[in-house]
Each structure stands twice: as structure tokens, then as C-alpha cells.
Structure 1
Amino acid sequence: MTNFKIWIQALILFCGVFFNSAGAFIGINIGTEVSNLPSAADIVAILKAQKLTHVRLFDADSHMLNALSNTGIEVMVSVTNEEVLGLGESASAAAAWINKNVAAYVPSTNITAISVGSEVLTSIPNAAPILVPAMNYLYKALVASNLNHLIKVSTPHSMDIIPRAFPPSTATFNTTWNSTIFLILQFLKNTNSFYMLNAYPYYEYVKSGGIFPLDYALLQPLSSVKQIVDPNTLFRYDNMLDALVDATYYSIAAFNFSRIPIVVTETGWPWFGGANEPDATAQNAEAYNNNLIRRVSNDSGPPSQQAIPINAYIYELFNEDQRPGPVSEKNWGVLFTNGTTVYDISLSVSDDLPNFSSVFCIAKPGGDERLLRDGLNWACGAGRSDCRAIQQGQPCYFPDTLQNHASYAYNDYYQKKWNSGGTCDFGGTATTTTVDPSYGSCRFTGSSNASTGAVFQPPAFGPIGPSSGSSKNLVHSVLVVVMISTLFLLNMNLRNIP
């Protein structure tokens, strides 16, 4: 093979790596224990309407895989727990599974990952010895089909295999599973795959018995004075999901493995529960999932791994009303089966994200003056708000009240920092509003008519990263054109290469 051909292959490989690292995404889990489950075609139509780009199936249903054909939606198929035993005992059974459920559908159906079982170590511990063999057999079958570079193999774990997740820096896996976990991590490292994590702040909050604030579990970013601080690293955690993900990274590091990214394969919040489940409410579910989408849109990782974005699959698309267990188990869906939302939510990391240029942070009327003054001083100091406009002689000095000055400072901080975890809290003295508080020549940051300071322009996000309005996407687009043009020209001459 000539050097020219080698160069072509390297370029194609670079393209694949480039696109696979383009940005964070929100996916959705699709369960099937649903009364009056829509047809596969209708489900795909709903996915398209919601602009979802990633789905996880709890099986490898042929109807869904056919319906997802030619949609471009990235699909994670699953080996059920009932299937794991058979595949772990037979390489031929694993090869047959790949041929039937994967090779038969790609490339028209964009299958990118295989989830081997679900929380096997904690749900069917007797299957632990054959879990890694099943993963290995499936991977070897992908190699035989020349699909191993396109499709990753992994297995989801619950947080239950980490006995103490707080503080994150001291977290370790349950030693009962040491040998199996080591083999899993070794497999993920060797195959360039990722760790699948099912992380539910809802359950962690309920188990904590009030140790953690509800806002922390709902991913409502906390003010700096309320954030949870890891005493060993001094990393600040303003939401529980980041802490759970970091606890897992530290647990992986305890086995001397690194650079294994984590994908959150399940997370969410129930919107209805029984009498003994007071926190399973539509209001909390709406807050959690919208905050999750906003968090993912930051395209960043937790404090210890900020360069690795958090990708997450929401649990789940529809209410699985046929599931056993408490009332909440039946009410995790974000959509009804007719495609309407259970509560106000936009599921894609896209231009459907809330337009924060029309959301303002102001001081609550009648707030405690001492707390307001503390909040104002912090915003203009450590918070780095631009408070020049509320100085004497400046446009926003009058009315010369603590509430007015605090509102301006709070809002300036919020508009600049919300996309990196900043919150509108300030010790409980602040609240958000969609009513522009600007007046006269005093323009609050974020106002469409702002004349003082910089007008806040929130980034818009597409399915895999920032939209065409950002410099990052501009570079992405230019590289795409260059790559495609180069490959096209190379392809025209490829026949003449000896």
C-alpha cells in the first residue's frame, strides 16, 4: 500500500475521531412496559419532533431498529439481563446475536453502542462471572463483522456499587466486585469504550434523609456559600449529578485506570408518586430534567474531569405504567403516548433551550436587608459583577435602594455565569423573572435594548455542539467542508493509485 493510501486512511480516521468528539448530547431511554405503546413509526416521529439525536433501547427490537433506519439518530441497543448468561457462555451465541440485532441493520440504522445487561452486578449478581466474557464475545463478533470501530460495547452500573459517594475524592467501588470491575475497566480501556453509569440524584436524595438540599439534587446550581465542597480537593459541587459522576471517576482512578469517559445511561426524576413519595412531583421532575439539559449544554465535565463533557440519557420517554413497584416507578416518562409533554420541557440540546436573554435575576421584594447587602457585596466582589452602573452619578444609581442595586448586581452576575453553573439564589434573596427590569436609561444586562455594558447573547446548541452562531461551530463547519472536499478529490483519483 502506498503512503498516499495510508494518508487517506489516516484522514478518514481523523474525521471519525473529530465528529465523535464534537460535543455533549442529551439522549432518551425508551422502555416498553407501556399500555397502548405507540407503533415504532410513531415513536420515531415523536423522536424527530423532539429533535432527539440519541436513543437507548432496552432490547434490540426489530420494529424499532427498522423504523430508525435512515434517520441519523444514534442508537444504543441492549442485551437483556436474561440474554447475558447465554452470550457469556457461548461465542457462537454472541456472534449470532450480533448478526441478528446489529449487522443486519447497519449502516442504515445508526447503531453506535451495545449495552450488555443492566446493572448486572447488583440486580443479578450470580451472572457477574460471565458478564465480561459476554462483552468480550460480543466485541469479537463486531471485529469479525468489521464493526468494532463504529460500535462500542459496555455495561451499565448503578451507583449502588459505590458504597460511599461523598466526598467524591474518597469514593471507591465495593470491594466485593473488585475482580469483575477490574476486568470491566480493562475491557473498556482496551476497546476504547466508555463506562455506563445509571445515576439518579432522586434516589440519593431520598436515601440521604435530608442531608443534602433538594435544590442540590434537582441540579439547581447553588450559590457559592451553599455548594458542597470536597475537603480533600477543595472542588466545589453545586449539583449532585456532578458529584456522582466525579465519585465514579475517582473510583475508576483507584484501580489505576484513566481516560475512560463516563456516559450517564440513565438519569431522571419521577413526576408522580405515592403518599410516601412526597418528592416525586411534576414540579421537581420539570426542574430536574430542564436543569439536566442546561447542564449538559455547558459541554463540560465535573470538577475533576472538566474536559470530558457529561452526556446523558433521560429516563424515560413514556411512563411505563405496567412496571411493578411503588407508584413512582410508573411515572418517569417525560411524554404521554400521544407525544405531548407531561410538563414544560424541551428535550434537545438545541435552539429550543430557554432564551436566557429574556430571563432576568432580581432581588426579591421585602428581602432581609442584611442578606441583601451580603449578596450585593458578594456579587460586586467575588462574583465579579460589573457594578459601575449603580455607582452615584451612573444610570442605575436611582432609585438609591438596596433592592434596586442588588437586583442590578444579581442580574449582571446571573447573565454572565448561568451557562457555567451560576445561579439566581444569593442566599434566598433572589428570583428570576421574564419581565425586563430596565427603566429609563438604566438597562439591565440581557435586555434587548441594553445600552450600558455588554448585551448577553446566550449560545445556541445543536444536536452535537454549539450552533452556527458560535466560533466553535464555525471552525467545525470549515473543517467539514475541507474534509469532504479533500476526500471527494482523493476519491476521484483513487482508482489510479497502485
Structure 2
Amino acid sequence: MEVSYKKITSPLFTFLFISSIFIQCLPYVSSLGVNYGTLGNNLPPPSQVAQFLKDKTIIDKIKIFDVNPDILKAFANTNISVTVTVPNGEIPKLLDIGYAKSYVEANIKPFYPQTKIDVIAVGNEILHWETPEVQNKLVGAMRTLYQALTQSGINTIKVSTPHSLGILLSSNPPSLAKFRPGWDVTILAPMLQFLRETKGPFMVNPYPYFGYNPEQVDFLLFKQNKGVFDKFSRRTYSNMFDVLLDAVFMSMKRLGYDDVDIVAAETGWPSFGESFEPQCTVDNAASYNGGLVRKIVSGIGSPLMPHRKIETYLFGLFNENTKPGSNAERNFGLFRPDFTPVYNIGIMKGQQLLPIPQPSKPLPQPALPQPQPRGPIPVAKPGPIVPAQPAPRLPAQPGPRIPAQPGPKPVGPIGKKFCMPKPQATDAQLQASLDWACTNQGVDCGPVQAGGPCFNPNTVRSHAAYVMNSYYQIKGKNDFNCDFSGSAAIVFADPSYGTCKYLS
């Protein structure tokens, strides 16, 4: 059929034509960041990394976990923005303006502005890992460092700090989320005030991966699913990432700081893991990260933040073969050290974004009339709000754990869950966990003492298993309460035996 000239030039056609061009170009105008970790002995030199990202990918932001001069030099004149990290141990010293100015002179000014440093992260997950003494110095250190920057003539670099989602008291449902009492008024409110004054971002590390269970896989992996309904906000959620972001947003709003920008500083999914980590597959990693990229470039925001740009940094750039922990820790990378992609998620220039993957199993057809979407997914499952507790801080970490520890998981899966030591955990690690949990943490360790029902077998592993699980259960069954510096994991089989009954 012949199409008239008038029809071709109609306003509707013009709008659709321009829209189609915009959508095709969207991946190249939307900001996508990646965490560039360096815990590997086979990684390419920074100069090659910078050239690769600039020439071959749509990534235009990186975040590094130090102030590595080789990386900062390599990214000069690339127009790729860089977020650098001040080590946790520097925080007390940064309260001194003289020291802060010397830090800027040594670590920032030699590379700026040739290298597009846009944010300095003061430490990593300080409220999760550090002592109250360091926590209480964090905001002061941020203010002093910012003052040092401005006195040095630098007024375009923001100062912030990334948080695990252990800062939340609750996140179920997102509309009722709030920060932990104690941290909310004394640390987070002053921090948000500083960020508002300086136009800096509030940085959080949302990891749906750490809340994995088989019942929620489609919701976690951006696959098609029935959705989750928050009856208080009247919003429906299609993925866990939005749930966690909106929980942070509402917590900020309760303090009056919902105007401060939010940055997802770390999020990702490993492509390989141990036998007890069956969720770590290439397909799952591609589904999560691919879904996240689709979301970032779409600009749709979240249910409580529609059309709001959430700057997001995938974790991570490379598989890092010397990172401590399980195999999963070493396989979060988008690329292998030779720059070949571990899987395709549409971040190479010229690639198409992946389509939305199909659900892992057929979705049940709801009976008519159709009810509000609900299901055994976090936020959707009816029930009491599960409070979150601060994650256990065991012997001081050698540095910020990468990737960051999990945030609070809104609701547990169907059935019981238990916290058990990982097979590769050493007796030294387990003894440290045992000693920590039995000291002023509210755990009844009597059952593993001589004469108790769980004393036998008299091994560190057996005793630690009981105590770890007890801590996990009494602190609210949040997945981040079963981490113990990476030495524990969630299991679904009841480990009770004989007269030794595990809490559930």
C-alpha cells in the first residue's frame, strides 16, 4: 500500500522516529560505572585497562579502592570519571586539617584535573566494620577532607563514603524502611546534611546476591515475575534492586534528606562459586548484571524514585585470582584478565542490550478477579517487619572486604534457614567467631559448654556452628548476620542432632 507524504510527516511519526533514535543511542549517553579491583597477579597494566574501557566499552566511570597512582595516571585525559578511596585507617588522621591538606597534595593534586576525579570515598563500609571510635570520626573526617580540597583550589570533587545496607533497621516493606537507631541521628543525619551542603552523593552497596534463595530467583535476577506489592506505598516491584534502593530512599526521607542523590557504589553477581554456592553461575550473573544495565540505560528510576538517575557501579571489572574467600569472591568480574568478556550484557560498543530473560519456571496464572501481586519474595510476603542488626565485626579486617558485605534481606524464604560454617573456614576463624559471639552479643553459649546438650562432638567447628546459628536467629535472621567475615553461609537443612536442637 502506498503511504502518503502527509502520513509520514505527521507529528506522531516524527515523535516515534526521534524516540527510536534516542532509544538506540541511550546506552551511549547513560552513565555506567564499574569497580576496578586489583587483587590479582595476572591483571593487565592500568594503561591497557584505560584504553580498553575508553575504546571498546560504554563504561564511563570507574571506582577504585585506593589512590593507586598508576591507575590515576593511566586514566588521564580519557574522560572516564574516577572515584578514589581513602583507606579506613586514615580516618582518624584526616580530622587534622594539616594532615588532610598534605593528603590532598600527595594523592589528588598530582593527577587532577587531567584525571577526572569526581568523588573521594572516605573509607568503605565504616559503620559495618569499624569500631564506634572510628565511626564517630567519620563525618568529621569527611568535612575536613572537603575543606582541604577547597583550600587547595579544588571545588569540583565531592566527598562521600559507601555503606553496606546494615545501616537499615528494616527494609520490609520499602515504604516503612528506616535507619538503625543510634546511627540515624548521631552519624547519618549529620552526614546527609554535609552531603546536602556540598552536593555530594549518599553511597550504598546493594547486593541482592547476598539474599539469594531459590524461591526468589526470578525477582533477584531481573527475570519476568509476578511482581511484589507494597500495600503502604501502593507500588509494585519487579526486582530486588529497586526494593533495596527504595528502602534507602525512604530511610533518608524520614530524616528529611530525600533530595540527596543516591549512588549504588557496588552491586554484582559472581559467575562461579563453591559447591555450596549453586547460585554462582554464568547464566545468573549475566541475567542480574544484564538486567541492571538495561535498567540503568532506561532511566526509569525506581517505584519511589521514578525517572531519577541512580548512578550505579557494577562489581567488578575483572575476576581477581588472589582475593581471599570462596571462589565466588574471585569471580565477580565482567572480564577475564585478557579482556575477553565472561558473558555478554551489552556493555561493549556496538552490542545490543540483552532481552529480558524468561522466568526460571512458568508463572502461575492468577484466578479471576486478579489479586494484588504478592509472593514469597522480599517485601511482598505478608508478615512482620524484620529488624536488621549490625553485622558481626570479627578481628580487624586487613582492608575493606570487596565486594562489600550484604545488606539486610527483607524477608526469609519459605521454610527454615540456618547459619553454618563454610567448609573451607579454618578453626582459627571459627574460634574467633565463637569467642566474639559468646561475648556480650546476647547469645546463650551454655549448650556448647561442658555438660551442655551441644557440647559433643567437642570440636571448634561443631561449637561454632551452634553459636553462629544462634546469633543469626536471635538477631533477626538477616543474611548479613550470617557472614562472620566470610566464614559462614545460609543452609536450609536442619543441623539439629540428638539432644542438640538448633534455633530456627
Instruction: Assess same fold via TM > 0.5.
Output: yes
Letter in 1 for 2:198: T
Give 4+ residue runs of structure 1 displaced > 4 Å after superposition.
Answer: none
Contact 1:23 1:299 in 2 (8 A): no
> In structure 1, what is the equivalent of residue 353 of structure 2?
354
C-alpha spacing 1:23/1:183, structure 2 compared with 1 (3 Å) = farther
Alignment of 1:143-182 (within 5 A): 143-148=150-155, 150-178=156-184, 179-182=186-189
> In structure 2, what is the equivalent of residue 262 of structure 1?
262
> In structure 2, what is the equivalent of residue 13 of structure 1?
none
CA distance in 2, matches of 1:85, 1:326: 32
Q: Does 1:213 align with 2:216?
A: yes
Letter in 2 for 1:170: L
1:267-302 per-position Cα deviation (integer Å, ceiling 9, x unaligned): 000111111111111110011111100011111221
C-alpha spacing 1:91/1:259, structure 2 compared with 1 (3 Å) = same
> In structure 2, what is the equivalent of residue 413 of structure 1?
none
CA distance in 2, matches of 1:284, 1:355: 13
Q: Does 1:71 align with 2:78?
A: yes
> In structure 2, what is the equivalent of residue 277 of structure 1?
277
Alignment of 1:321-400 (within 5 A): 321-347=321-347, 352-354=351-353, 371=365
> In structure 2, what is the equivalent of residue 33 of structure 1?
39
CA distance in 2, matches of 1:318, 1:93: 34
Q: Does 1:112 align with 2:136?
A: no
CA distance in 2, matches of 1:63, 1:355: 34
CA distance in 1, matches of 2:295, 2:83: 22
> In structure 2, what is the equivalent of residue 399 of structure 1?
none
> In structure 1, what is the equivalent of residue 237 of structure 2?
237
1:299-347 per-position Cα deviation (integer Å, ceiling 9, x unaligned): 1221111131122100001112222222211111110111001122332
CA distance in 1, matches of 2:43, 2:232: 49
Q: Does 1:56 align with 2:48?
A: no
Q: Secondary structure at the match of 1:175?
A: coil
Letter in 2 for 1:169: S
Contact 2:290 2:346 in 1 (8 A): yes
Contact 1:69 1:110 in 2 (8 A): yes
Q: Secondary structure at the match of 1:31?
A: coil
Letter in 2 for 1:144: Q
CA distance in 2, matches of 1:307, 1:354: 20
CA distance in 1, matches of 2:286, 2:119: 28
Q: Does 1:191 align with 2:190?
A: no
CA distance in 1, matches of 2:161, 2:354: 37
TM-aligned CA deviation for residue 70 of structure 1 = 0.7
> What do you get for the CA RMSD once the two structures are aligned?
2.7
Identity level (%): 34
> In structure 1, what is the equivalent of residue 415 of structure 2?
none
1:33-92 per-position Cα deviation (integer Å, ceiling 9, x unaligned): 1122211111112212223211001111111111101111111111111222322x3211
Alignment of 1:380-459 (within 5 A): none
Structure with more helix by fraction: 1
CA distance in 2, matches of 1:315, 1:135: 24
TM-aligned CA deviation for residue 252 of structure 1 = 0.5
TM-score (norm 1): 0.64
CA distance in 2, matches of 1:166, 1:347: 33
C-alpha spacing 1:71/1:187, structure 2 compared with 1 (3 Å) = same
Aligned residues: 339
C-alpha spacing 1:164/1:132, structure 2 compared with 1 (3 Å) = same
CA distance in 1, matches of 2:270, 2:354: 26
Letter in 2 for 1:99: E
> In structure 2, what is the equivalent of residue 125 of structure 1?
131
Contact 2:250 2:258 in 1 (8 A): no
Contact 1:300 1:310 in 2 (8 A): no
Q: Secondary structure at the match of 1:78?
A: strand
Q: Secondary structure at the match of 2:179?
A: coil
Letter in 2 for 1:319: N
**Consecutive unaligned residues in structure 1, runs of 5 or more:** 1-21, 379-498
Aligned partner of 2:53 among 47, 51, 57: 47
TM-aligned CA deviation for residue 355 of structure 1 = 7.6
Letter in 1 for 2:194: F
CA distance in 2, matches of 1:54, 1:322: 24
Computing the radius of gyration over CA atoms, which structure comes out larger, 1 or 2? 1
CA distance in 1, matches of 2:345, 2:300: 22
TM-aligned CA deviation for residue 264 of structure 1 = 0.4
C-alpha spacing 1:285/1:139, structure 2 compared with 1 (3 Å) = same
CA distance in 2, matches of 1:325, 1:35: 16
Q: Secondary structure at the match of 1:146?
A: coil
Letter in 1 for 2:174: P
CA distance in 2, matches of 1:90, 1:60: 19
TM-aligned CA deviation for residue 353 of structure 1 = 3.2
Letter in 1 for 2:306: Q
Letter in 2 for 1:241: F
